[in-house]
Amino acid sequence: MMTGKVVLVTGGSRGIGKATARALVAAGAKVVITGRHQDAGDEAVADIGGEVHFVRSDVASEADIERSVAETVTRFGRLDAAFNNAGIGEIAGPLHKLDADTFESMFDVNVKGTWLCMKHEVRQFLKQTEAGRGRGGAIVNCSSILGHQAIAGSGHYTATKHAIEGYTKVGALDYAKDGIRINAVAPAVIEDGRLGAGKAPQVFKDYLLAKHPLGRFGVGKDVAGAVMFLLSDHASFITGASLQVDGGYMIE
């Protein structure tokens, strides 16, 4: 499915990113993961095994993103696909209680970070095409069910995920003629993700669990499977889509 492909996974040292990197390596891909903490990255590389490399990088920094793409190419010779997974979030309360500092940090990482990743990944895909080294590429952005609807108290986070959905659609239109496909995954609550593994009150987690018809939260490998499908040639006629990985949460 991914044999020989070179894939960049941001936020790949834990949670969904790490699960996806593990699945990609198991499927024969060469993977570069990024994250802000060297120790966590080194531990992830040792745990995943195989052809995986860590680059310390903050997606809010354009220089870091550009360097991550460059190191991927230096290490493995090219870039075929990317999963833009890095993000932050919290359920912080009603809009009038939210603060500007949290707005700036969340939009810097989730929105600006995703756009900058797409920018430099696409540039590398186009460079490879111009050099006669294949055509196109595939990108998956990590959205959320909150890119499609809302939960009270999640103002900044919900806004960032709606923005990611928008960038995904625009990117898909901008680069379809170049053979570059851009899609998103939209998970519900993931047990080993930020909310599922976080410190939210149990009563709130119970409320969320009841909204998943399959009767459980997802796990990282549930999202990993969807990401791998969208990055693979099996999804060659899919672009601009947002695949819900939600245990039925969005059924209405």
pLDDT tens digit sequence for 131-183 = 999 999 999 999 999 999 999 999 999 999 999 999 999 999 999 999 999 99
Which are the catalytic amino acids? 157
In this model, does residue 91 exceed pLDDT 90?
no
Q: Which two tokens stand for residue 206?
A: 């119970």
What share of the chain in percent tops pLDDT 70?
A: 97
Q: What pLDDT, in 10s, does the model give residues 201-224?
A: 788 889 899 999 999 999 999 999
What share of the chain in percent tops pLDDT 90?
A: 90
- Predicted local distance difference test score (pLDDT) of residue 196: 52
Q: Is the Cβ–Cβ distance between 182 and 190 less than 8 Å?
A: no
The H-assigned helical ranges of 150-219 are 155-175, 202-209
Q: What is the mean pLDDT of the chain?
A: 95
Q: Which two tokens stand for residue 8?
A: 């960049």
CA-to-CA distance for 118 and 140, rounded, in angstroms? 9
Closest listed residue to residue 215, CA positions, set 206, 227, 223: 206
Q: Tell me the pLDDT band of 195, cut-offs 50, 70 and 90.
A: low
- Predicted local distance difference test score (pLDDT) of residue 181: 98
**Lowest-pLDDT range, 3-7, 200-204, 228-232?**
200-204
Read off the pLDDT of each residue in 38-60 and give the average, rounded to a whole number: 97
Q: Tell me the pLDDT band of 194, cut-offs 50, 70 and 90.
A: low
Q: What pLDDT, in 10s, does the model give residues 105-130?
A: 999 999 999 999 999 999 999 999 99
- Predicted local distance difference test score (pLDDT) of residue 197: 58
Which residue matches tokens 């903050």? 58
In this model, does residue 18 exceed pLDDT 70?
yes
What's the whole-model pTM score?
A: 0.96
- Total residues belonging to the chain: 252
In this model, does residue 199 exceed pLDDT 90?
no
- Predicted local distance difference test score (pLDDT) of residue 198: 62
Tell me if residue 222 falls in helix, strand or coil: helix
Strand partners, 218: 190
CA-to-CA distance for 2 and 33, rounded, in angstroms? 16
Read off the pLDDT of each residue in 184-202 and give the average, rounded to a whole number: 80
Read off the pLDDT of each residue in 193-205 and give the average, rounded to a whole number: 71
Range 6-244 has CATH code 2.40.110.10? no
